[in-house]
Amino acid sequence: MSMLAALIFDCDGVLVDTERDGHRVAFNRAFADQGVAAQWSVERYAELLSVAGGKERMIRHFDETGWPGAAADREALIKALHKRKTDLFMELIEAGSLPLRPGIARLVDEAIAADIRLAVCSTSNERAVTALVKVMLGAERARHIAIFAGDVVAAKKPDPAIYNLAASTLVLDPGRCVVVEDSHIGLTAAKAAGMRCIVTRSAFTAEEDFRLADIVVPDLDVGIGLAQCRALVARSV
């Protein structure tokens, strides 16, 4: 029988429902600060979430709507916008205005008590992910959590690269890992890496296709604990 080796969490939409009231707000403030005539509505941001990564979302948006001004150096523009956006998002995190989703702290505590490895795998900026983990989960929990984020891999979700990196770095059997995701692209990445996947639907992803998921729930407080995670990896492949 296989034994659970690790719990791996996505960040945005899984640990904290950050997309609508965190990242989107920070992007819009960054656009205003930099004099860029862009304002992402909730509906527009939902469309852009089909692309993983903040820089990639801005590139798609400007490709579709037109680049600001002459935009001679598009790479520099995207870099400057993303840096400012990250600073603004950090302010939101540090203010404690983005609470953890239900069940996250409990499941992390269960894993720590049982000596199960923990990791966060996210396409978001590493600085923001690290700060979110430390501030929202606390320093004591955070020291047990390995973080893989941002541009640490060349290909972002739905490519499995970030999950493959976590497995190789932490010397984990993918079949003994359970991932918690909230999006179709995250689910696709986790399954392509050979891992089990629990989906917690979030505000922007409730209607996505989650047929590949092992379990789909509104949040982790709906009967999801370490026992259920262990049961997933105990199934014969």
The answer to whether residues 121 and 44 belong to one domain is no
Query: Is 1 among the domain residues?
Result: no
Q: For the chain, what is the domain count?
A: 2
What is each CA distance from 150 to 28, 40, 86, 161, 227, in whole angstroms? 20, 22, 12, 12, 31
Question: Using CA atoms, how far apart are residues 188 and 56, in angstroms rounded to an integer?
Answer: 18
Sign of CA dihedral 190, 224, 6, 96: positive
Neighbours of 137 (CB within 10 A): 21
Domain boundary among 76, 94, 112: 94
From its phi and psi, is residue 124 left (phi > 0), alpha (psi between -120 and 50) or beta? Answer: beta
CATH code of the domain in which 180 resides: 3.40.50.1000
Q: What is the pLDDT of residues 168-199, one digit of tens each?
A: 999 999 999 999 999 999 999 999 999 999 99
Look at residue 237 and tell me whether its pLDDT is greater than 60.
Answer: no
Tokens of 120: 């966060």
Q: What is the pLDDT of residues 220-236, one digit of tens each?
A: 999 899 999 999 999 85
Query: Is 58 among the domain residues?
Result: yes
The answer to whether residues 85 and 107 belong to one domain is no
Tokens of 140: 């004591």
Domain hosting 116: range is 6-17+99-234
Question: Using CA atoms, how far apart are residues 167 and 55, in angstroms rounded to an integer?
Answer: 25
87 is an active site residue = no
12 is an active site residue = yes
Q: Cβ(119)–Cβ(166) under 8 Å? A: yes
Query: Is 32 among the domain residues?
Result: yes
The arrangement of strands across the sheet holding 6-9 comes to: 145-149, 117-122, 6-9, 177-181, 196-200, 215-217
Question: Using CA atoms, how far apart are residues 90 and 113, in angstroms rounded to an integer?
Answer: 30
Domain boundary among 94, 116, 141: 94
Stated pTM of the model: 0.84
What is each CA distance from 9 to 40, 58, 200, in whole angstroms? 27, 25, 11
Q: How does residue 99 score in pLDDT terms, banded at 50, 70 and 90? A: confident
The answer to whether residues 174 and 117 belong to one domain is yes
Q: What is the pLDDT of residues 143-156, one digit of tens each?
A: 999 999 988 999 99
Q: Cβ(202)–Cβ(32) under 8 Å? A: no
Q: What is the DSSP string of 81-134?
A: HHHHHHHHHHHHHHTT-SPBPTTHHHHHHHHHHTT-EEEEEESS-HHHHHHHII
CATH code of the domain in which 59 resides: 1.10.150.240
The answer to whether residues 109 and 84 belong to one domain is no
